[in-house]
Amino acid sequence: MADYTQMWKDLGLDLEAHDQLLAVLGQGYQDIFLSRQNRPEGMGYFDFVMSEVHGLRIQELVDGKKQGRKVVGAYCVFVPEEIVLAANATLVGLCAGADFAMAEVENLLPRNTCALIKSAFGFKLGKVCPYLESADLIVGENTCDGKKKAFETLSTLVDRLHVLDLPQVKSEEGRALLRAEYARFIGVMEELTGNSITADGLKQGIRTVNAKRAALARLAAVRGVEPAPISGLDALLANQVSFYDNPERFTESVNKLADELENRAAANQGVFPAGAPRILLSGCPMAVPNWKLPWIIESAGAVIVGEESCVGERGLRNLVDDSAETAGGLLDAIVSRYLDIDCAVFTPNPDRKKHVLDMAEKYKADGVIHYSLNFCQPYQLEAMPLEKELEATGLPVLRLETDYSPEDAEQLKTRVEAFVEMIS
Ligand code: BJ8
């Protein structure tokens, strides 16, 4: 990596803390990804992106800002990238998957807050995230109670925060609320960028994001083949990179990877031996560098064939209909697509159970591992009835709760190995 010290300094990063984070990230990446055999060649692109995740990509964002292109950071897949692109701005994901500056975080948030929220605060307080520091606007959302209240505190730490008030019920009133909030977000984006959001701009934004989701859906589909041509870790990585990368370049790279995987599948070339137990992972999103559980699962000899998660199929399912000719019609289409996201904050949320069952069938899963972060009430509360319903269909389920620390790795390993053996 070139020397980006001056850029990081200009962004206000704490260079010493940032070096520590990069060292941990680099070592983890080496151990979990680079040291593995039989990876598709197309993963080379994602390895490169990861090696430059705080370098070249940030340089692109900073250069874009000099040309007037604003950066918007978000913590949830309910923030519509279509609208951000229509305003000629760039959307980046800010969820973080590592503990940092936890002592300072626990001065602001209760200890029993989920790791995802604490990590986001740790990256801010520790001044280690160049994406967060490049952002001209942070968008939060009223989803779970933890995020809702944490954004009140985050508003005191960042220059500009806009919070979307999201519905929790999929009713007509819920749809109207989402439409009103997205219309308000259009106003915020126009004011931030000085650009008007037109029907043409929305259409182009929709097409760009649809192409990205379609490419990821191709990658997902080929994992249904036995033996699976790509590991769950590599597929997860591609999904994680989708939150940072330039969308057009990302789409092209995922399509190239999918071409290679389709050839591998046709040649019966699996990444694990034929007959390896196939796992569907379901639950909370996994942000970079949260690879602990997938690594444990695949080290136990199973292959993860799908992620029922916002960093996975919940986040990429469904395209936006781009056929309307007016900005209002296109906004309606965006609302329809996003209202279908089956996040556990919705009540009731029957679609999620249906999606897990559909995915288990489509990807020929032998079992489901349900993953919740500690203290994540929405996903923990859904996990119990979901487990019962899946088991009633004959699908074995392992329900796990964990966080970002390595402390429970041995215990998780024991439980995962026993489950993998049971479904083998
Ligand atoms: S649409 S899943 S990205 S809210 S893990 S912070 S739920 S206590 S992340 Fe999410 Fe949007 Fe829903 Fe998806 Fe709260 Fe749970 Fe923490 Fe969570």
Atom 3 of ligand 1, residue of closest alpha carbon: 76
- What average pLDDT score do residues 65-74 get? 98
> Pocket of ligand 1, candidates 284, 311, 355: which has the most ligand atoms within 8 Å of its Cβ, to mutate?
284
Q: What is the pLDDT of residues 86-141, one digit of tens each?
A: 999 999 999 999 999 999 999 999 999 999 999 999 999 999 999 999 999 999 99
CA of 295 to the centre of ligand 1 (A): 22
- The residue contributing the CA closest to ligand 1 atom 7 is 144
2 pLDDT higher than 90: no
388-414 per-position pLDDT tens digit: 999 999 999 999 999 999 999 999 999
pLDDT at 227: 97
Ligand 1 pocket test, candidate residues 379, 401, 403, most atoms within 8 A of CB: 379
- Over residues 345-359, the mean pLDDT reads 97
Any ligand 1 atom below 6 A from CB of 215: no
Q: Is any atom of ligand 1 closer than 6 Å to the C-beta of 97? A: no
**Centre of ligand 1 from the C-alpha of residue 24, in Å:** 25
pLDDT for position 60: 98
| Average pLDDT estimate for 262-276 | 96
Q: Average pLDDT over the chain, rounded to whole?
A: 97
pLDDT in tens, 202-211: 999 999 999 9
Does the predicted model carry a pTM greater than 0.85? yes
From the CB of 286, is ligand 1 less than 6 Å away? no
Q: 378 in ligand 1 pocket by Cβ < 6 Å?
A: yes
Q: What is the mean pLDDT of residues 3-31?
A: 96
Is 122 close to ligand 1, i.e. is its CB under 6 Å away? no
Report how far ligand 1's centroid is from the alpha carbon of 347 (Å): 14
Residue 1 confidence (pLDDT) above 80: no
pLDDT tens, residue by residue, 168-203 = 999 999 999 999 999 999 999 999 999 999 999 999
Q: Is the pLDDT of residue 50 over 80?
A: yes
SS (H, E, C) the chain: CCCCHHHHHHCCCCHHHHHHHHHHHHHHHHHHHHCCCCCCCCHHHHHHHHHCCCCHHHHHHHHHHHCCCCEEEECCCCCCHHHHHHCCCEEEECCCCCCCCHHHHCCCCCCCCCHHHHHHHHHHHCCCCHHHHHCCEEEEECCCHHHHHHHHHHCCCCCCEEEECCCCCCCHHHHHHHHHHHHHHHHHHHHHHCCCCCHHHHHHHHHHHHHHHHHHHHHHHHCCCCCCCCCHHHHHHHHHHCCCCCHHHHHHHHHHHHHHHHHHHHCCCCCCCCCCCEEEEEECCCCCCCCHHHHHHHHCCCEEEEEECCCCHHHHCCCCCCCCCCHHHHHHHHHHHHHCCCCCCCCCCHHHHHHHHHHHHHCCCCEEEEEEECCCHHHHHHHHHHHHHHHHCCCCEEEEEECCCHHHHHHHHHHHHHHHHHHC
Which pLDDT value is given to residue 406?
95
What is the CATH number assigned to the segment(s) 5-203+326-337? 3.40.50.11890
Ligand 1 touching residue 77 (CB < 6 A)? yes
| Domains in the chain: boundaries | 5-203+326-337
